[in-house]
Amino acid sequence: MNAKFNAAGVPAMLLAGLVAGLLAWAPAARADIANTRHNLTPSGSGTFKAPEATGLCVFCHTPHNANASRALWNRAFSAATYTLYTSSTLKAVPTQPTGSSRLCLSCHDGTMAMGNLLRPPGGVQPTLGKLTGAGLIGTDLSNDHPISFTYDSQLAIDRGELVDPQGAPNALHLDAGGQVQCTSCHDAHVDRANFMRMDPIKGALCTTCHLPANWTNASHANSVATWNSTGTSPWPADGYTTVQDNACLNCHRPHAAGHSEGLLAQVGEAANCTICHSGTVAKAGFNFNTEFAKPYRHPIDIDPWTHKPKEDASTMTRHVACADCHNPHAADSSSATAPNVSGPLKGVPGIDQAGAPVAVATYEQEVCYKCHGLAPATTLSFARQDNVRNAREQFEPSNLSFHPVTAVGRNATIPDNSFVLGTGLTAISRIACGSCHNNDGWTAGGTTPAGPHGSIYKPLLELNYNTASTVIESPTEFALCYKCHDRSTLLNPNVGKFPHLRHLSSPVNASCAACHDAHGSRTQSNLINFMLSDVNGNPVVTPDSAGKIAFTKTPNGGNCQLACHGMVHKLGVNKYP
């Protein structure tokens, strides 16, 4: 076939087709741009516009002698070196800006005047200075969504929770070479929500690439809660009015993020949660500000930005952040039977009973074990006969006794009437860490949030549990125990039962903690693990004259061989030496 060529060697038919296509497209593009802030002519509607009459497109394009890059570009490129985005979860390899991003940054990095054109109309540069204000990205891209990296199937596998670009919908827009660039999110010719390629409502734009597990059912994807106009608005100035519609923008900012890690919106780590969960957006029962002001609390403000989404619990720096217990992409308000994880704990990694990491916790204690199950507690406390302070070891199902968190308890003979009526507890019931460690004053259906965020009772207990070695017994001093264990049954002095009344009443006034370890006992039944000294180092339980400290379970309750505050216990007979 003999084809006709023009002077540049381009087939005439092909050139004619390109020109026809350009002419067909140009009026629509021109009309779109004319109504946007990218109209920099005197008729423009934005803040920045040249006083001189010029063509509409000349601020970006020229038909002749353009920048030898792409898009008939009418501008030089910035010579700036950019600070790139980094993250502990980043698997992509961003480079200095390439492709369409270089075009955008020739104005949006603020290093060159917007009127500085390669081919100005009539040879006169428009008097239009450097970009300022909200559109200025600058040369520090560390708090902006990463650009100029290859997005392929391998990246989707390596990073996880990403759409595989092979077979992805057309909404996933990649630049030449499969690169994520500014144009992956923005269309410079259409002013749709800050030149977005699509309306970002309900996370539509973000989820063309990002697919967090369980996001579809998460509260942050479905809540219709609105801001009550108190305090600081949690949303962008041009955001939507409900949590559901803001979706990803509840917590993240693709540009000028408050903190670079995760592109989180707020400067303070905890503030990304409390800005809504402080009585301003989240419904009743999810206001946490007052909880974290209590004397005993998880100290989410002590080590900000220490938490990493992919951290190894066995090697991480000890810390606690909201995201250690809650996955904002998966959490919902559903309930669960103890000790299974409830909705607010869904999608959180943990440590299993063997001490191994699990990608997603099944049981509540697996979330707690990340801090409380790999090493002994470091807080000041009393000393016990078996002084293990690792909760995972205390709850080990092979122990001689334990509260039934990890398995059904070992004492199958506990009568139902020994439990408080209405609790539904039996000898085969299981409980969770949150059954005891909870916000004080919490009630089902109340306005105080559930969970160990803060409490007036140490250590983050729902009710009072006085752990001094001697205490004058009352319903309030041991309220936590009496939440489940029926007080009248426990103190009934009937023959054939362990004489709790004799121990708890005057003159002994022993506390529950003097004999029982609330988590479990590796060495004795009935949660027996004697307190050897109180928090001040004063002796409590000491060996008897035979050098023994022991409890032996019997059909009538049990016998102790020991001395407690000078009282000798031997074969069930108590006497002072």
Q: What is the pLDDT of residues 423-461, one digit of tens each?
A: 999 999 999 999 999 999 899 888 889 999 999 999 999
Q: What is the pLDDT of residues 384-412, one digit of tens each?
A: 999 999 999 999 999 999 999 999 999 88
Q: Print burial letters for 407-429: b (CB count within 10 Å at least 16), e (below 16).
A: eebbeeeeeeebbbeeeebebeb
Average pLDDT over the chain reads 91
Q: For a pLDDT cut of 70, what percent of the chain falls above it?
A: 93
pLDDT number for residue 573: 56
Q: For a pLDDT cut of 90, what percent of the chain falls above it?
A: 80
Looking at residue 253, its amino acid is R
pLDDT number for residue 570: 73
Question: What does DSSP assign to residue 556?
Answer: T
SS (H, E, C) 399-415: CCEECCCCCCCCCCCCC
The mean pLDDT of 113-121, rounded to a whole number, is 95
The mean pLDDT of 110-128, rounded to a whole number, is 95
Hey, is 562 helix, strand or coil? strand
The CA-atom distances, in angstroms, between 326 and each of 258, 323, 350 are 20, 5, 11
The residue ranking higher by pLDDT, 556 or 381, is: 381
Question: Above 70 in pLDDT, residue 528?
Answer: yes
**Are residues 201 and 47 in contact, defined by beta-carbon separation less than 8 angstroms?**
no
pLDDT number for residue 310: 92
In terms of average pLDDT, the best of 199-203, 442-446, 552-556, 558-562 is 199-203
Question: Above 60 in pLDDT, residue 577?
Answer: no
pTM score, whole prediction: 0.90
pLDDT number for residue 29: 57
pLDDT number for residue 569: 83
The DSSP bridge partners found for residue 521 are: 401
Q: What is the pLDDT of residues 12-42, one digit of tens each?
A: 444 344 434 444 445 555 568 898 999 999 9
**Are residues 173 and 197 in contact, defined by beta-carbon separation less than 8 angstroms?**
yes
Pull the structure tokens for residue 554.
């019997």
Question: Above 90 in pLDDT, residue 346?
Answer: yes
pLDDT-based confidence at 568, cuts 50/70/90?
Answer: confident
